[in-house]
Amino acid sequence: MGAEASGSRPELQELMREAEISLLECKVCFERFGHRQQRRPRNLSCGHVVCLACVAALAHPRTLALECPFCRRACRGCDTSDCLPVLHLIELLGSALRQSPAAHRAAPSAPGALTCHHAFGGWGTLVNPTGLALCPKTGRVVVVHDGKRRVKIFDSGGGCAHQFGEKGDAAQDIRYPVDVTVTNDCHVVVTDAGDRSIKVFDFFGQIKLVIGGQFSLPWGVETTPQNGIVVTDAEVGSLHLLDVDFPEGVLRRTERLQAHLCNPRGVAVSWLTGAIAVLEHPLALGSGVCSTRVKVFSSSMQLVSQVDTFGLSLYFPSKITASAVTFDHQGNVIVADTSGPAVLCLGKPEEFPVPKPMVTHGLSHPVALTFTKENSLLVLDTASHSIKVYKVDWG
């Protein structure tokens, strides 16, 4: 009996975590629902649930009209009602929920652990974001998403400093942004799956160059230390290096670095060694199940190491589904895992893999990663439409 209870504890903890993230958190402000007036869960007329504080923030001050932030249907703030199922669930899980935050805080308390210091963005500010990059000169955060203006730039405090890239069919518009990088001279490069092109803007949003007709499905994009651009083509299965005169808006040269990759998506470049990591999504034959594989090449494009979902399952009890890859300042390979969800360090390429969890709490669906000069880890969480900032806690 005791063994059964012990064995079920991880499953119960996982169920509690899913309930807390999926059911008991307002998906507009990311605050937990509660019985306090401002945090009470309220039903909108369309059926979606937000907290009372967000109803008040979204409603027009005179007419009380509001637009549901999820389905965009017109609602009235005065027509909302308490969401009784959520309130009853809070009462049912009350004692466990009161213990949950303490447990989450206790987990990263060991010296050197990563803890979430703050988050910014949120629904409305960002809509289904897909790509994340840092400007190397200004430190500003650049995100591509599904909003009316596809590129949004945030200052160091998380405030929106600028946005551009209209949604449309013109050559300079952005139809479906997948990834973004910022060059050493502050040009913003976006992969657009909508018209299968790569678009280059200056930091103020003026179009400089559209590279079309050369890719079947451009996906991941990253800047090299030499200010080149590496791009994956997910449909063809290739990796390319672009030499661009950014101020003049001229493509000088395109070089195919790798072929015969399996649905390559994410790509990262180590500024310490020049190594390139590529995230593949091979389809398992006959199963219809898509696994993931991380390949790391040297600066001369020799394969150094690789590991796939099965290989990582030998180290972790649950499946690892890599959704993003980057390098830290020491040259370690870092991946985001959507199955956990978590962020994992795989170690240096020559020692591959030496996996170690870095972030195991507070994420829903991480899709992009990058490190700041101060060694903070930025994680783009598309499920919460936000950027979460993790720092080392030496306390």
- Split at pLDDT 50, 70, 90, the class of 104 is very low
The closest alpha carbon to 368, from 263, 250, 266, belongs to 266
Q: Is 106 domain-assigned?
A: no
Contact 44, 68 (CB under 8 A): yes
Q: How confident is the model at residue 194 (pLDDT cuts 50, 70, 90)?
A: very high
Instruction: Tell whether 75 is covered by a domain.
Output: yes
Task: Indicate if 325 and 356 belong to the same structural domain.
Answer: yes
Angle of CA points 177, 179, 181, to nearest 5°: 125
pLDDT of res. 14: 61
Q: Give domain status of residue 332, yes or no.
A: yes
Assigned token pair, 67: 């637009």
pLDDT band for 2, please (50, 70, 90 cuts).
Answer: very low
Say how many C-beta atoms besides its own lie within 10 A of residue 292's C-beta: 26
Residues 93 and 211 in one domain: no
Examine the domain organization and report whether 189 and 297 are in the same domain.
yes
- Range from 39-53, 230-244, 280-294, 309-323 that averages highest in pLDDT: 230-244
**Does residue 9 fall inside a structural domain?**
no
| 48, 65, 97 - which closes a domain | 97
Q: Do 67 and 76 meet the contact criterion of CB atoms below 8 Å apart?
A: no
Give the CATH number of the domain where residue 273 resides: 2.120.10.30
Cis check: omega of the bond before 353, within 30 degrees of 0: yes
pLDDT tens by residue, 371-389: 999 999 999 999 889 999 9
392 within 8 A of 112, measured Cβ to Cβ:
yes
Largest Cα separation within the chain, whole Å, is 73
Q: How far is CA 33 from the centre of its chain?
A: 24
* Same structural domain, 87 and 118: no
Rounded Cα distance between 280 and 264, Å, is 4
Q: Are 89 and 123 contained in the same domain?
A: no
Is the per-residue pLDDT at 69 higher than 90? no
CA–CA dist 32, 48 (Å, integer): 16
Q: Full-prediction pTM beyond 0.85?
A: no
Task: Give the integer Cα–Cα distance in Å for 178 and 217.
Answer: 10
CB 212 within 8 A of CB 197: yes
Instruction: Using pLDDT thresholds of 50, 70 and 90, give the confidence band for residue 100.
Output: very low
Predicted local confidence at residue 102, as pLDDT? 33
* Strand locations in 19-86 (E): 41-43, 49-51, 65-67, 74-76, 81-82
Note whether 76 and 132 are same-domain residues.
no
CB count within 10 Å of CB 250 equals 11
How are beta strands 293-297 and 303-308 bridged, if at all? antiparallel
Same domain, 123 and 92: no
User: Omega of the bond prior to 177 within 30 degrees of 0, cis?
Assistant: no
Kindly state whether residue 108 falls inside one of the protein's structural domains.
Answer: no
Together in a domain, 23 and 121: no
Residues 193 and 67 in one domain: no
**Rounded mean pLDDT of 333-338?**
94
In a domain, 60, yes or no: yes
Average pLDDT of every residue of the chain: 85
Domain boundary among the residues 40, 69, 97 is at 97
Residues 176 and 226 in one domain: yes
Average pLDDT over residues 159-171: 91
Going by pLDDT thresholds of 50, 70 and 90, the confidence category of residue 229 is very high
The stretch 272-295 carries a mean pLDDT of: 82
- Token pair belonging to 16: 């509690």
% residues pLDDT > 90 (the chain): 55
What sections of the chain are H helices per DSSP? 2-22, 52-58, 84-92, 94-106, 309-313
The average pLDDT across 4-13 equals: 53
pLDDT tier for residue 109 given thresholds of 50, 70 and 90:
very low
Last residue in a domain, options 67, 97, 127: 97
Q: For tokens 């593949």, what's the residue?
A: 280
Number of domains making up the chain: 2
Asked whether residue 151 is assigned to any structural domain, the reply reads yes
Q: Are residues 182 and 288 in the same domain?
A: yes
Weakest mean pLDDT among 19-28, 205-214, 267-276 = 19-28
Does residue 135 form part of some domain?
A: yes
**Same structural domain for residues 91 and 135?**
no
Q: Report the SS3 class of residue 38.
A: helix
- In terms of Cα–Cα distance, which of 362, 363, 393, 357 is closest to 376? 393
pLDDT band at 1 (very low <50, low <70, confident <90, very high): very low
Q: Tell me which residue of 335, 391, 383, 389 sits closest to 155, measured CA to CA.
A: 389
Question: The domain containing residue 21 runs over which residues?
Answer: 17-97
Average of per-residue pLDDT across 1-7: 44
d(CA 306, CA 352): 7
**What is the percentage of the chain residues whose pLDDT exceeds 70?**
86
One-character DSSP codes across 322-376: EEEEEE-TTS-EEEEETTTTEEEEEE-GGG----EEEE-SS-S-EEEEEE-TT-P
C-alpha–C-alpha distance, residues 226 and 213, integer Å: 25
Confidence band (pLDDT; 50, 70, 90) for 73?
A: confident
Find the CATH number of the domain harbouring 86. 3.30.40.10
